[in-house]
Amino acid sequence: MPNFTIVTPVLNQVEYIEKCILSVLEQDCDVQHIIIDGGSTDGTTDIIRKYETRISYWKTEPDNGQSHAINKGLKLSTGKVFNWLNADDRLNPNALKKVLKTVNSNTAVVIGKCEHVDESNAQIAVNGARLWGSVEATLGNYSMGQPSVFYRTDIVKQLGGLNEHLHLCMDMDLWFRYLIAFGQNNVVQIKDVLSQFLVHPTSKSVDLENEMMIEKYGVYRAMISQFELPSILKDFFANYPNPEIDSKSYISNLNQTELLANFCWHLLLISYKKNELDKCSGYFEIVKRGNRLSKVGRLKWKARLLSKQLLKG
């Protein structure tokens, strides 16, 4: 059994696929690398054929998008640890070795840092998934660096793989379903930068930024809709359609107060920046009920909002 399975979904990425493949081949670990091509016509498959004797499996045929391609690879996965690596991303040297050193019999997920770089390889940012003090806080303060999030393969299969109705935030949905089902006690967070996420004009996160936001808040809506929501949140989510998600996978014993307080913190910041004071007041009422702010922090925000209202008046 290989230590890892890495699935690469690809469609017309001739400029980037070779570096992706090499970043996996150069890992000093036993890796099953599966490449699922959606029917490229730009020379991508020529690059794949160049390395086919060193790739565990590859296939080219039309598919129903990235999530479908990854699930096709997941069905063939035999590695103990699973992740997917998009064709325009790459693993850092010795990344898998660092993950392997961290894994023990109890480990379900390992999350490291992900470096965002531009086409000249200049660093834009370093970020990644982050654990907070509770599952509710981790869900409400969502962050992700997908190429640096490694799951035990059997758990991803148990969760049913990726939601094929999602094309931009399938990593978010998988992370949320994992946290709701299993909690975060067996998630290990390491400081190592394990991967590079390439930011370029045709990457989905850049080209489809608005669509990604719609899908992101649609995922939140699917999870939070199990609660009785304040009117301000009902109004907010009215702008974001429910994606096709099995609602049963999101039903849980989550603490509503804590989850909404952490989620609304970010809406409070956005509204404050836009000077939308009525919304600020509504979100603050939700935030202050939870533990997202200290007592001093709540007093400071109360004074801040009062000052803005006086200035506006």
Q: What are phi and psi of 115, to 5 degrees?
A: -95, 125
**Last-in-domain residue among 150, 185, 207:** 207
Q: Are 48 and 197 within one domain?
A: yes
- Per-residue tokens: 233: 């949140």
Q: Does residue 293 sit within a domain?
A: yes
Q: Taking each helix axis as running N to C, give the angle between helix 209-224 and helix 170-182, from 0 to 180 degrees, rounded to the nearest 10.
A: 20
One domain, residues 30 and 152: yes
Q: Look at the chain and report how many structural domains it folds into.
A: 2
Q: If you search the block for the tokens 């004074």, which residue do you land on?
A: 303
What is the pLDDT of the chain when averaged over all its residues? 93
User: Residues 300, 179: one domain?
Assistant: no
**Residue 280 CB neighbour total at 10 angstroms:** 23
Do 184 and 261 fall within a single domain?
A: no
Question: Token pair 């009920």 is at which residue?
Answer: 289
Task: Write the pLDDT tens digit of every residue in 181-198.
Answer: 999 999 999 999 999 999
3-state DSSP assignment of residue 44: helix
Q: Are residues 261 and 173 in the same domain?
A: no
Instruction: Give the Å distances, CA to CA, from 244 to 170, 171, 175, 220, 247.
Output: 12, 15, 16, 12, 9
Same-domain status, 151 and 86: yes
Residues 202 and 276 in one domain: no
Whether residues 18 and 128 fall in one domain = yes
- Establish if 268 belongs to a structural domain: yes
Closest CA to 178 of 211, 215, 141, 153: 153
Which residue's structure tokens are 């979100």?
283
Domain contains 83 = yes
Residues 179 and 276 in one domain: no
Compute the distance between CA of residue 212 and CA of residue 206 in angstroms, rounded to an integer. Answer: 9
- Establish if 239 belongs to a structural domain: no
Task: Answer whether 0.75 is exceeded by the pTM.
Answer: yes
**pLDDT tens track for 86-137:** 999 999 999 999 999 999 999 999 999 999 999 888 999 999 999 999 999 9
The pLDDT tens digits for 15-26 are 999 999 999 999
Q: What is the pLDDT of residues 269-295, one digit of tens each?
A: 999 999 999 999 999 999 999 999 999
Share of the chain above pLDDT 90, in %: 84
For residue 165, give its domain range: 4-207
Q: What are the CA-CA distances from residue 246 to residues 136, 140, 188 (Å)? A: 20, 20, 27
Q: How confident is the model at residue 313 (pLDDT cuts 50, 70, 90)?
A: low
Within 10 angstroms of residue 113's Cβ, the number of other Cβ atoms is: 19
